[in-house]
């Protein structure tokens, strides 16, 4: 499913910050490409692994991405082994070596990177991952701020590195999703705050608008 999600010929949509079984099931029924579940305890969209069993029946219906911040390898591996997630999104300060260890075990990896300027983009090019997620730089917050990055710089980065799979995050909302796609040409868009009515609760009018923008 990750390969289809990252297919550059057809942009995809990932709705992140899922906390409710009903929201996850509805996203799958709508044929949204991917969902993200935040297992970082300090996130306002945190989901305890003990409450994540609703993800298991969604296997094969939607790409299930677990979001982790400086978690160490055992927690993500456990959730993979339990059949709750399909891919690991490293959203903290994880090293290249940590990411490579997952890849060596054939665990799909998305590495999120906080982008301040072109130097951050240049550094991103050599990070081992199946995909790079470009997000706004937010020290201590690790995403979910609703702030955008420099789309033109991101577009140039993608042109210069056509072999990389890039996911664009940071301030993606229904009103700017189509423009983001047209400007940056990422493999996928990722949004949390832009798809919800309150942290962790999805607004399906917004989700439908985002889906239309992708289509």
Q: What is the pLDDT of residues 129-172, one digit of tens each?
A: 999 999 986 655 555 556 788 899 999 999 999 999 999 999 99
Q: Is 7 a catalytic residue?
A: no
CA distance 87 to 69: 14
Q: What is the pLDDT of residues 26-38, one digit of tens each?
A: 999 999 999 999 9
- Radius of gyration from C-alpha coordinates of the chain: 15
User: What pLDDT does residue 114 have?
Assistant: 85
Mean pLDDT of all residues in 60-88: 96
In CATH, the architecture of 2-214 is Alpha-Beta Barrel (3.20)
Prediction pTM value: 0.94
CB 34 within 8 A of CB 13: yes
Q: Is 130 a catalytic residue?
A: no
Please name which of 90, 111, 102 lies closest in space to residue 39, comparing C-alpha atoms.
Answer: 90
CA distance 215 to 209: 10
pLDDT of 188 strictly over 80: yes
Helix 177-184 to helix 151-160 angle (10° resolution) is 40
From 33, 86, 130, 135, active-site residue: 135
What phi, psi does 168 have (nearest 5°)?
Answer: -100, 125
What are the respective helix, strand and coil percentages of the chain, to the nearest 5?
Answer: 35, 20, 40
- Name residue, tokens 């990932």: 14
> Which range among 17-21, 59-63, 146-150 shows the weakest confidence by mean pLDDT?
146-150
Neighbours of 141 (CB within 10 A): 15
Mean pLDDT of all residues in 186-192: 97
From 16, 23, 130, 150, active-site residue: 16
- Name residue, tokens 């990055």: 149
């Amino acid at each position: 499913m990750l390969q289809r999600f990252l297919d550059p010929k057809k942009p995809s949509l990932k709705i992140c910050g899922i906390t409710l079984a009903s929201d996850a099931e509805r996203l799958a029924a709508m044929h949204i490409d991917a969902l993200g579940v935040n297992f970082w305890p300090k996130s306002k969209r945190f989901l305890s692994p003990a409450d994540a069993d609703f993800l298991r029946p969604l296997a094969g219906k939607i790409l299930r991405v677990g979001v982790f911040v400086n978690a160490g390898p055992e927690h993500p591996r456990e959730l993979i082994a339990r059949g709750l997630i399909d891919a690991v999104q490293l959203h903290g300060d994880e090293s290249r070596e940590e990411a490579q260890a997952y890849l060596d075990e054939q665990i799909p990896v998305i590495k999120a990177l906080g982008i301040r300027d072109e130097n951050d983009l240049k550094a991103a090019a050599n990070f081992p991952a199946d995909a790079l997620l470009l997000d706004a730089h937010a020290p201590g917050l690790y995403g979910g701020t609703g702030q955008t990055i420099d789309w033109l710089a991101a577009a140039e980065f993608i042109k210069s590195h056509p072999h990389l799979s890039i996911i664009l995050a940071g301030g993606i909302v229904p009103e700017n999703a189509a423009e983001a796609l047209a400007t940056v040409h990422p493999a996928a868009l990722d949004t949390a705050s832009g798809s919800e009515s309150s942290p962790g609760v999805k607004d399906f009018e917004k989700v439908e608008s985002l889906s239309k923008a992708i289509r």
